[in-house]
Structure 1
Amino acid sequence: MILTLLSFFGNAQVTPKYIFPINSGSQQYLAGTMGEIRHNHFHAGLDIRTGGKKGIPVRAIANGYISRIGVSEGGYGHVLYLTHLDKKTSVYAHLECFEKSIEAYTLNQQYQNETYPIRLFPQKNRFYFNQGDTIGYSGNSGSSSGPHLHFEMRNVKQEFLNPFDEFSFNEIQDDIAPIIKYIAFKCLDIDARVNGAYGTLLVQTTKKNDLFRIQKSIHLSGNIGIEIHHYDNMSGSTNQNGIPEVLLKVDQDTLFHQLKKSMSFAKQREISAHIDYPFSINNHITLNKLYKSDGNRLNIYIKNNQGYFFDQTPHELEIILKDNHQNISTLKAILNHEESYDSYYPNVSTFEIDENQLHYVNFDTSSKIFLQDTLIILQPYLSNRNKHYYLWDLRSGLPDSVKCGKLTIKPNFITEIPSEVDYSFHGEDFILELNKNSLFDTLYLQFTKGYDSLKDKMLYSFNDPTVPLRKEVIISINDPDPFKNEYQIFRVDKKNRLAYVGSERNTEGSFTFKTRQLGTFTLDTDSINPVITPISWNTRDLKFIIKDIKSGIKSYHATLDGHFLLMQYDAKKEMLSAYPKNRKKPIKGLFILEVEDNFGNKNKICKLL
């Protein structure tokens, strides 16, 4: 009996019962789930809606101590990390403010370090809370797009976990099955075909009798990858949330099984290999690959494939989606079951690089590939009236040019760079340095240098933004012009808008910068001071809008009678708000605010309050 009681209390201490972190005991709604596919990362937890309200008490889900405190202008904003007796950590982000003892401690540290953004690691048990205690208040701080609580569960390795696997709670109800909106069929080698063509065919689904189907007749041959666009609507919410479990079966054989139970922050960039990244950039539709492509290091796949080889015979396709409440959706289709099908003519404007293939189209019935001293005559693999499609495997060599009648295509290939190796390329106009983790797959490096007479700028283009990078690459652009000593690197988008990147000028005349996105860059300068606009300027409330139209805000600093005055910065609103140590006392004295941009241009305002 004694042993039984000891065992019970021992287990109770190791695995505490969790409660819902906000408005516990009443129905709540989600705006995001763990593992959900975002722009450049997997969502790490639950986004719990607060009905557009801020200041709702956030509770400790179990006994524990505050192990980390964060305040940032973007990202998680005001965030708390609560470590529990079972060594797991719960995370509460985008808070408006902390519990008063944590708030006072944080404010004191901000003043000591004279900074608004700060990361703190308090001594263990300095801030200890029991289950249900208020640790903070919900808000909209950081990169939040609206008031809500971002909540995470992490294990001892700080991997983020699916909260639905960690504990059950009745606050979230869902009886709506997931949605499969699109299915795509992607050619994975030069001999693969989808309805007679090479490319990615996107097909919208229909639903009948709780089963998703495709009306279009699909004919596949060769190595094909299956991709889907999916989401999960939950009861009482219109948000399109993520789905943890996906299965793909062909002829009743499971080829792919994805299950998101835990994920590593160190592998967040692997999302670019998990989805069809180029398709997402070009078409603004996110496709989840149901195969594991080269370079993908994620470990969320129970079973995977590198495509399925389709012959000419019929095949049964089945895709199963299961959400966090075990609602299930299924798509079924029979492929290659009809001899006739609608031909697919890919939308290729001049040329594109897809996987290892150079895919191009023109109006001539033959094409000439110029490969160093070799001339190769290529025949179209597909024709549609006066339009002819061609494929060239880049592993057979990088063409100098392609001639089709009077049209000459210059892909501007420089070299082939393998993945998983340290690599440095030195050219006449630039140096490119990569480490072994920079690339997911082989990079067929393209480079052009051209003068834009309208902008009076030299443009340097490295491939395009559809090439995903796992880690930063280092680029040094050579321009020895001494008049450009004060210039820095900017990115140029498709609409010719400039975005500040930054760079360092070395003694040889090169501008060196790091980037995790290829594309077009240029050199430019900025001589315009930041703008400071007072919104509220009195002894009780100091608020300012700060803007810089070109290179962006680098820093801000305020003093009152020569002493540091903390300014809270809301990057979304571009607003600075004074936060004195003693908020009950009026702000009196000589107030000075100085703002600096990334080129060192400064603006300063002052007033005797």
Structure 2
Amino acid sequence: LDHLFNGHTIINNFIRMKIRLFLYSFLVGLSLSGQTMLDTMYFDSPIKHDVVLAGSFGELRTSHFHAGLDIKPSKFNISGDSLFVAAPGYISRIKIQNGGYGRVLYVDHPNGYTSVYAHMMEFKDSIEQYIQKMQLASQSYEIDIYPQKGKISLPRGAFIGLLGNSGRSYGAHLHFELRNTVSETPINPMLFGIGPKDNIAPDLSSVTIHGLSLDHQETHFSNYPTEKVDNHKYTINKGAVSIPAWRIGVLLQGWDRMDGASNKNGIYKIQMSVDDTLRYGVTMDSVNWDETAYIKTHIDYTDKQDNKRTTVRCYPMPGNELNIYESTNRNGIIRIYSSEARKIEIEASDFSGNISSIQFDVKRSNKMIKNTSSFEKLIKYNSPYNFKLGSCHMSIAANTLDRDLYLNYSESIDKDHTIYSIHRDSNPLYKPMKATIPIMNIDSLLFDKLCAVLIEKDGNLTFKDGTIVGDSLSFKTNVFGDYRLHIDTIPPSITPIQTSLNDDLSFIVKDNISDVTINAYIDGRWIISPFKILNHTLLIPKKEFGAGQKELKIIAIDEIGNKSNYTQLLEQE
């Protein structure tokens, strides 16, 4: 539109607004190729260079669905590109975290959507000044502010800050989201026309087949690497497999590459047909925040934990409450026969319509396997439970599991510690469960240092905050695994790594089992000191210590209350 009315700013803006309003009212609700048509002219790209993605919407992350687009900088892994608001609106929220989204802006727009700009390096000057006043007043680097509606208004294309790498980010990029303002549900920005060029069909890497019992327990596991038949057509095992089960579930491993980058992004749409009848479909148009924990059942969580392989179930589990599936095609479980092959075809497509497919036949093997296993308690997925096994009391809320669970439990002794083994850590929980274990042979004077810890596979310990009730400690956890009591008397470590006064000072601050709270002072004055939790790096900006002799003091406290103090004399001409 700018090219049509170049040089006539008032007319240009007026006509732009009228055309946008007309297109928005006309297009919303229409459908094209299964995608809801939204106003692709309402939002502009938040960057000036071409959009190239490091991560797509709905991509399968370790514990959540990716809620936006990860847009690469103009130069590889270099922060500092200017960012611009995608449409007129006002800043509704400003948040700064050591982890998470780092430095992030939320902008509400008149059309009922909110744009989100995360992992920023810095905000524009007026916002930085506003934020710094809040940080100094609260003496906290981490803040979460909701400015009054309209207090910080922004016209279309206004400069808002610089692309960065703050928070839980592994490299410079902009995490960009569009959300429904009322529900806060993230919407795929590609539906609004913001996205990369993509002429590359998805890659399909492997197919997993689970043999399934009537209550969805896995009786068999086979993983088959794909074999290419044609350009974007695949099969497995030369086109036919035999499985020792009466019914099966199929899982797909794959990813989508896009123009200009080698990143393995998420697949936009997957459909599975059995004997030419559609039995399963999923499309990544939006994912509700309240449902994101169900990624643990959308994928094979056990395979992810054990083999680092991410496969999508083409058969939703009974406890899966995600609303991303085609409502009439949720039953992807397939009955198989020894005398007749079932034809399975899966199509994987990206947002641009590039399609890859895989086809194979499956029959029931004549050699069936009888599975028998012992367990301590049957947990129905849709019922609440309060029970005791051994000396551990457990509480599990209804709908915490994706299917019925045959719970295993044991207790053992290791170096004077009682180990409470609560099932396998590769079985998912969607809500925290509560465990209560007895306190034995521990001096009451040490109770303030007492906590529960999860014993990781590598032997490291992860802190679980607990409450002492009588002679027991209760804690909540969202993972099964091995637990024990632990007395933590070790304070965090503070190690200088950059001590030259010609630059910002930096330190590694970390604890042996938990997160830390950090405060820094110059001559007793609290200062704003950024901390990146991902690499445990604390930054003391050079501007804070200036010229002359100053005393720097850093205080770090872990979650159990252990404290470390670090003092350094700074002297600069």
Q: After TM superposition, is the score higher than 0.5?
A: yes
Hey, what does 1:321 align to over in structure 2?
348
* Equivalent-residue separation in structure 2 for 1:100 and 1:209 (angstroms): 55
* Equivalent-residue separation in structure 1 for 2:499 and 2:219 (angstroms): 63
The correspondence for 1:110, drawn from 135, 148, 171, is 135
Larger deviation: 509-518 or 183-192? 183-192
**Given the alignment of the two structures, is residue 268 of structure 1 paired with residue 295 of structure 2, yes or no?**
no
Task: Provide the alpha-carbon RMSD of the alignment.
Answer: 2.7
Asked which structure has the greater CA Rg, the reply is 1
Larger deviation: 438-447 or 177-186? 438-447
* Equivalent-residue separation in structure 2 for 1:56 and 1:77 (angstroms): 17
Please state how far the C-alpha of 1:137 moved relative to its aligned partner.
0.5
**Given the alignment of the two structures, is residue 283 of structure 1 paired with residue 263 of structure 2, yes or no?**
no
SS in 2 for 1:482: coil
Q: Residue 438 of structure 2 contacts residue 471 of structure 2 at CA under 8 Å; is this kept in 1?
A: yes
CA separation of 1:71/1:155 partners in 2, compared to 1, >3 Å: closer, same or farther? same
Please state how far the C-alpha of 1:277 moved relative to its aligned partner.
1.4
Please state how far the C-alpha of 1:12 moved relative to its aligned partner.
6.9
CA separation of 1:471/1:502 partners in 2, compared to 1, >3 Å: closer, same or farther? same
Hey, what does 2:462 align to over in structure 1?
499
Please state how far the C-alpha of 1:503 moved relative to its aligned partner.
2.2
Q: How many residues align?
A: 530
Hey, what does 2:225 align to over in structure 1?
204
Hey, what does 2:161 align to over in structure 1?
136
SS in 2 for 1:219: strand
Hey, what does 1:162 align to over in structure 2?
188
Please state how far the C-alpha of 1:560 moved relative to its aligned partner.
2.9
* Equivalent-residue separation in structure 2 for 1:549 and 1:603 (angstroms): 10
CA separation of 1:5/1:545 partners in 2, compared to 1, >3 Å: closer, same or farther? closer
CA separation of 1:219/1:151 partners in 2, compared to 1, >3 Å: closer, same or farther? same
Q: Residue 540 of structure 1 contacts residue 587 of structure 1 at CA under 8 Å; is this kept in 2?
A: no
CA deviation digits over 1:450-495, x for unaligned, max 9? 1114xx4221100011111001011111123232633321111223
**Given the alignment of the two structures, is residue 74 of structure 1 paired with residue 99 of structure 2, yes or no?**
yes
**Runs of 4 or more above 6 Å deviation:** 4-7, 190-193
Give the number of the structure with larger relative contact order, counting CA–CA contacts within 8 Å between residues 6 or more apart.
2
Please state how far the C-alpha of 1:180 moved relative to its aligned partner.
1.3
Hey, what does 2:537 align to over in structure 1?
575
Q: Structure 2 length as normaliser, TM-score?
A: 0.86
Hey, what does 1:376 align to over in structure 2?
none
Hey, what does 1:355 align to over in structure 2?
none
Please state how far the C-alpha of 1:60 moved relative to its aligned partner.
0.9
Larger deviation: 144-153 or 211-220? 211-220
Please list every run of 5 or more consecutive structure 2 residues that lacks an aligned counterpart in the other structure.
1-14, 26-38
Hey, what does 1:333 align to over in structure 2?
360
Hey, what does 2:419 align to over in structure 1?
459
Please list every run of 5 or more consecutive structure 1 residues that lacks an aligned counterpart in the other structure.
345-380, 383-389, 393-398, 400-410
* Equivalent-residue separation in structure 2 for 1:476 and 1:606 (angstroms): 41
1:27-106 aligned within 5 A:
27-50=50-73, 51-106=76-131
The correspondence for 1:250, drawn from 274, 277, 292, is 274
SS in 1 for 2:165: coil
1:297-316 aligned within 5 A:
297-302=321-326, 303-311=329-337, 312-316=339-343
Larger deviation: 50-59 or 438-447? 438-447
Matched AA of 2:427: V
Hey, what does 1:11 align to over in structure 2?
22
* Equivalent-residue separation in structure 1 for 2:546 and 2:98 (angstroms): 26
Hey, what does 1:240 align to over in structure 2?
264
The correspondence for 1:439, drawn from 391, 401, 408, is 401
Q: Residue 565 of structure 1 contacts residue 579 of structure 1 at CA under 8 Å; is this kept in 2?
A: no
CA deviation digits over 1:38-69, x for unaligned, max 9? 11110111111112110110111111111111
SS in 2 for 1:281: helix
The correspondence for 1:213, drawn from 235, 241, 258, is 235
Matched AA of 1:599: I
CA separation of 1:589/1:180 partners in 2, compared to 1, >3 Å: closer, same or farther? same
CA deviation digits over 1:111-165, x for unaligned, max 9? 1111111111111222222222211111111110111111111113111111111
Q: Structure 1 length as normaliser, TM-score?
A: 0.81
* Equivalent-residue separation in structure 1 for 2:295 and 2:548 (angstroms): 48
